[in-house]
C-alpha cells in the first residue's frame, strides 16, 4: 500500500542533522558535537511549578491559544526584552514548540506554488514544512556576505510568486545574526511588496555581543510579521515543547484555526511550567548565556590555533567552520572525521548545498567534551 502514500511525504527525507547523529550512534568512543540541545537541566523552580500543576489538577484542555496568564507573560516578556507590543488575548498563541508555530503559520498563509525565501545555509526543518504546505523553497546564497541575508540579495530573488520570507536569526547553523541597520534595510525592500515575514527568533536570548533586535519591532513590518519564539533554548526546556507565536490579530485568528485542529492546545502542565519560567525565571537565561559565551570563545581560540576559517557567531550555540577535504563532500568528510578521529560534527550540506565545505559544531556541551573533541579535530587536521 506504500504506493498510495502522499508523494510529497515520500519525497521528504529525515533531517540531515538527525540522520548523521543516528548514524554515528553505533560507533564506539565517539565525541559528538552534533546536537543543538542545552546541556543545562531545567531550573528547579520551573520543574516544581510543573509538579504543583499536576497536584492542582491542571491537567485538562486549556484555551486553544493557551492559558491567558501565560499569554500575558509572553506579551510582557516580549515587550520588556524586545520592545514588542502584542495583545495577549488576540495576538499570542502558545504552541507545541517553535516548530509547530512555523508549521501552522506556513499552512495558514501558503497556497500551492507560493514561494518562500530562505537564506542558505539554513536549518533543514523549514523546507519540508514549506513543501507540505504546497509551497516552493527558494534559497539565497549567503556565503559571500558572511552568511547574512542582505537587502540587495533579497531584492534580486523576489518574484510575483514570493509569498513569504523566513528570517532565522540568530542562525542555525552559522550563529550569525543581523543588526538593526541590516534588518531595517531588509524591511525597506519588503515594504515595496506584499510579502509575509516569519521571524524565527528562538535563539534571541542567546546573543553575545549586541542586544537582539527584532524586525517585528519596526512599525512598517507590524502587519506582516509572524514572530516565532519559545523556551527550549532560553530556559533549557527542549522536552517541555513550549513555543509561541506572535502576530497581528487579523492574521492570528486564521492561524488559530489551524492550531486548533492540529493539536487543540499545548500541554497544560508544560504551560504552567512556562508561566513560571517567564515570570520567576527572568534571570535563568543569563547564567546559561555567559557559559555559552565562554565556550564560544574557547572554540574560536582553538579553531584559530588550527588555522580554520569561520564567521564569528553572534548568537545561538553553533559555529560553522570551513573544513573540507579535497574531492570530498561535506558528508564524506564528516564520515572520515568519525572513522579516523572519533569526532562527529554535522556536515554542512545538511543545511542546503550552500553549506558545502563546512561543518556545524555545537558548543552546547561542557568544556571537557569540547576540549576532547577539538583535540581530536586538531590531530585530524595535522594528519591530513
Distances (CA, A) of 372 to 30, 40, 202: 10, 19, 29
- Is 370 inside a domain boundary? yes
d(CA 238, CA 361) in angstroms, rounded, equals 19
- pLDDT at site 4: 92
CA angle 107, 217, 193 (to 5 degrees): 55
Choose the final residue of a domain: 224, 247, 280.
280
Which residue reads 500541554 in cell numbers? 267
Closest CA to 72 of 252, 368, 271: 271
Choose the final residue of a domain: 280, 304, 328.
280
Claim to verify: residue 265 and residue 289 sit in the same structural domain: no
Name the average pLDDT for the chain: 96
d(CA 324, CA 47) in angstroms, rounded, equals 43
- pLDDT at site 352: 96
Distances (CA, A) of 344 to 143, 303, 319, 331, 337: 23, 16, 14, 11, 7
Claim to verify: residue 28 and residue 176 sit in the same structural domain: no
d(CA 170, CA 209) in angstroms, rounded, equals 12
Choose the final residue of a domain: 280, 298, 314.
280
- pLDDT at site 309: 98
> How is the beta sheet containing 359-362 ordered, strand by strand?
318-319, 359-362, 346-347
Claim to verify: residue 118 and residue 199 sit in the same structural domain: yes
Decide if 78 contacts 84 (C-beta within 8 A): yes
d(CA 292, CA 36) in angstroms, rounded, equals 12
**Residue numbers in the chain where pLDDT is lower than 50:** none
14-42 pLDDT tens trace: 787 877 777 777 788 899 999 899 999 99
- pLDDT at site 296: 98
pTM over 0.75: yes
- pLDDT at site 15: 80
d(CA 342, CA 375) in angstroms, rounded, equals 11
- Is 47 inside a domain boundary? no
Decide if 317 contacts 210 (C-beta within 8 A): no
- pLDDT at site 1: 95
195-220 pLDDT tens trace: 999 999 999 999 999 999 999 999 99
What single-letter DSSP state applies at residue 27?
S
CATH code (residue 123) = 3.40.640.10
- pLDDT at site 216: 98
Task: Give the number of domains in the chain.
Answer: 2
Domain that holds residue 273: 60-280
- pLDDT at site 329: 94
- pLDDT at site 310: 98
d(CA 370, CA 292) in angstroms, rounded, equals 12
Amino acid at each position: 500500500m506504500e504506493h498510495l502514500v502522499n508523494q510529497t511525504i515520500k519525497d521528504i527525507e529525515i533531517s540531515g542533522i538527525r540522520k548523521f547523529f543516528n548514524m554515528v550512534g553505533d560507533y564506539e568512543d565517539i565525541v559528538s558535537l552534533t546536537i543543538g540541545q542545552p546541556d543545562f537541566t531545567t531550573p528547579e523552580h520551573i520543574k516544581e511549578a510543573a509538579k504543583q500543576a499536576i497536584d492542582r489538577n491542571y491537567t485538562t484542555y486549556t484555551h486553544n491559544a493557551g492559558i491567558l496568564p501565560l499569554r500575558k507573560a509572553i506579551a510582557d516578556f516580549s515587550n520588556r526584552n524586545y520592545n514588542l507590543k502584542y495583545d495577549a488575548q488576540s495576538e499570542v498563541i502558545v504552541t507545541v514548540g517553535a516548530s509547530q508555530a512555523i508549521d501552522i503559520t506556513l499552512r495558514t498563509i501558503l497556497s500551492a506554488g507560493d514561494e518562500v525565501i530562505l537564506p542558505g545555509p539554513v536549518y533543514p526543518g523549514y523546507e519540508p514544512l514549506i513543501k507540505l504546505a504546497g509551497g516552493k523553497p527558494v534559497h539565497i546564497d549567503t556565503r559571500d556576505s558572511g552568511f547574512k541575508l542582505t537587502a540587495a540579495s533579497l531584492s534580486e530573488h523576489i518574484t510575483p510568486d514570493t509569498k513569504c520570507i523566513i528570517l532565522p536569526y540568530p542562525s542555525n547553523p552559522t550563529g550569525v545574526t543581523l543588526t538593526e541597520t541590516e534588518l531595517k534595510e531588509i524591511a525597506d525592500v519588503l515594504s515595496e511588496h506584499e510579502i509575509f515575514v516569519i521571524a524565527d527568533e528562538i535563539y534571541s536570548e542567546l546573543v553575545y555581543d549586541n542586544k537582539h533586535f527584532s524586525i517585528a519591532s519596526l512599525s512598517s513590518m507590524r502587519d506582516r510579521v509572524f514572530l516565532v519564539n519559545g523556551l527550549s533554548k532560553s530556559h533549557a526546556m527542549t522536552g517541555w515543547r513550549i513555543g509561541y507565536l506572535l502576530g497581528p490579530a487579523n492574521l492570528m485568528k486564521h492561524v488559530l484555526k489551524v492550531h486548533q485542529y492540529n493539536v487543540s492546545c499545548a500541554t497544560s502542565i508544560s504551560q504552567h511550567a512556562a508561566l513560571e519560567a517567564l515570570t520567576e525565571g527572568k534571570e535563568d537565561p543569563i547564567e546559561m548565556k555567559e557559559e555559552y559565551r565562554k565556550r564560544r570563545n574557547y572554540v574560536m581560540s582553538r579553531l584559530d590555533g588550527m588555522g580554520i576559517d569561520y564567521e564569528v557567531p553572534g548568537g545561538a550555540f553553533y559555529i560553522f567552520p570551513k573544513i573540507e577535504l579535497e574531492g570530498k563532500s561535506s558528508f564524506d568528510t564528516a564520515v572520515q572525521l568519525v572513522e579516523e578521529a572519533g569526532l562527529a560534527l554535522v556536515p554542512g550540506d545538511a543545511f542546503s548545498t550552500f553549506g558545502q565545505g563546512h561543518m556545524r559544531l555545537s558548543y552546547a556541551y561542557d568544556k571537557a567534551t569540547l576540549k576532547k573533541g577539538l583535540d581530536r579535530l586538531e590531530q585530524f587536521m595535522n594528519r591530513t
